[in-house]
Amino acid sequence: MPDPRTDQPATRVPSAGARTVLITGAAGGLGRAFALGFAAQGDRVVVADTNLEGAQQTVALLEAAGGTALALQANVTQLGSVTQLAADASAFASDGKIDVIINNAAIYATITRSPFEEIDVDEWDRVMAVNLKGPWLVTRACSPYLADGAAVINLSSATVLSGSAQWAHYVASKGGVIALTRVLAKELGDRNITVNAIAPGFTLTEASYGLIEGAAEYGVDRGSIKRASEPADIVGAALFLAGPGSRYITGQTLVVDGGRQFL
């Protein structure tokens, strides 16, 4: 008879080292960092991006480090594209199952910052399509292949907490990601699938370096921890949310911003 006071929580099946992990937007930046983090645990990684060359470069890095990975070109806004992506990821998995999805692809640094009255309507639609429709479509396409006990991790942003002037489309899209995360958590819970969001603060990636002058110092004084955020800080959160210690955590948003804001 198991002792509920002392037994470890159920591990995910399969556990780290034997999982198939699908990461969107992994041609660089945080997506590439996630890919390296999971590959270092021995997982098979599917690197998806519109930028196939960048995805292939990520795979080359993973393979050079001894990992097993596959680069796929995919556009998260297109149902046909993500349907093919899901089938290819399943075929790459040793058991046909996808164990972890990281919905990371987004339009981010290239967005024009404008007062809300002046935001280009087409740009609003593009941001919503990639940042909010994308995670829904990818999770929907992968649903038939998701392992019992899988983990879905959606990239939101700490800007949702602060608001961020002249960025209404980006902030609204990332707020939508938190809401979507909660709905998917409810709907996938009966398969023991957890769905959580990570809300990073400003983190130094190639994209964000170009966004702000003096990026390395940006907001550091407002944090509890007085240093800039590195991709490794965010990767640790994803490994946790995909790992055995978070089996009973779902529908949540983990803010990873060095204590600049509190939920």
Ligand X SMILES: NC(=O)c1ccc[n+]([C@@H]2O[C@H](COP(=O)([O-])OP(=O)(O)OC[C@H]3O[C@@H](n4cnc5c(N)ncnc54)[C@H](OP(=O)(O)O)[C@@H]3O)[C@@H](O)[C@H]2O)c1
Interaction of residue 46 with ligand X, rule CB under 6 A: no
The answer to whether residue 108 forms part of the interface with ligand X (CB under 6 A) is: yes
Phi/psi of residue 161, each to 5°? -80, -40
- Residue closest to ligand X, measured at CB: 29
Q: Cβ(183)–Cβ(130) under 8 Å?
A: no
181 sits near ligand X (criterion: CB under 6 A): no
**176 binds ligand X, rule: CB under 6 A:** no
Q: Which of 170, 209, 218, 248 is catalytic?
A: 170
Query: Which conformational region is residue 254 in: left (phi greater than 0), alpha (psi within -120 to 50 degrees), or beta?
Result: beta
> Does residue 77 bind ligand X (CB under 6 A)?
yes
Q: Are the C-beta atoms of 21 and 153 separated by less than 8 Å?
A: no
From the list 22-30, 61-69, 83-91, 186-194, the region that binds ligand X by CB under 6 A is 22-30
Of 37-45, 83-91, 115-123, 201-209, the window that binds ligand X (rule: CB under 6 A) is: 201-209
Q: Which of 19, 29, 101, 254 binds ligand X (CB under 6 A)?
A: 29
The binder of ligand X chosen from 50, 56, 58, 250 (CB under 6 A): 50
Nearer to ligand X, 12 or 177 (CB): 177
Task: Please give the single-letter amino acid code of residue 227.
Answer: R
Does 200 help bind ligand X (rule: CB under 6 A)?
A: yes
103 closest CA partner among 43, 62, 63, 150: 150
| Distance, CA of 53 to CA of 207 (rounded, Å) | 17
Which parts of 130-159 interact with ligand X (CB under 6 A)?
130, 155, 157
Separation CA 165–CA 116 (nearest Å) = 8
Kindly state whether residue 205 participates in binding ligand X, applying the rule CB under 6 A.
yes
With contacts defined by CB under 6 A, how many residues of the chain interact with ligand X? 31
State the nearest-atom distance from the C-beta of 130 to ligand X, in Å: 4
Place of tokens 């990281």: 102
248 as an active site residue: the answer is no
Convert 88-157 into a string of H (helix), E (strand) and C (coil): HHHHHCCCCCEEEEEECCCCCCCCCCCCHHHCCHHHHHHHHHHHHHHHHHHHHHHHHHEEEEEEEEEECC
| Least distance CB 30 / ligand X (angstroms) | 4
Rg from Cα positions in the chain: 18
Give yes or no for residue 104 binding ligand X (CB under 6 A). Answer: yes
Where on the chain is the footprint of ligand X (CB under 6 A)?
A: 24-25, 27-31, 49-51, 54, 74-77, 104-109, 130, 155, 157, 200, 202-203, 205-208
Residues identified as active-site: 170
